[in-house]
Amino acid sequence: MALASPLARTVAARVQRDPKFRAALLVEGVQSLVAGDVETGKVILRDYINATGGFEKLGAAAKLPPKSLMRMFGPRGNPTASNLFRVLAHLQRRDRVHLQIRRGK
């Protein structure tokens, strides 16, 4: 899938060359979801997915239809918890990122 905007191409290039940025983008997407900003979380995760292989590869690995994943992370998407956590679990394993939720001070 071709990346639509210069910003998306810039993000994708940085994700490919900077493992810390790649991990930080995943963390930021999940933090947005947990904080209740679902729309921002979906946008960030969609950009992350596109920059790290796309929905076809993710669908095959997570055993979910790519079109369902695209809708799930789209503007009107409403992912089920089981599908969202399946995707997040796969992304963590694939990218060797361990996400934790901690209580704030």
Q: What is the DSSP string of 70-87?
A: HHHTSTT----HHHHHHH
Q: From CA 41, how far away is CA 55, in angstroms rounded? A: 16
Q: What is the pTM of this model?
A: 0.88
Q: From CA 95, how far away is CA 16, in angstroms rounded? A: 12
30 pLDDT band (50/70/90 cuts)?
very high
CA distances from 9 to 3, 15, 56 (A): 6, 10, 18
Cα 34 to chain centroid, rounded: 14
105 pLDDT band (50/70/90 cuts)?
confident
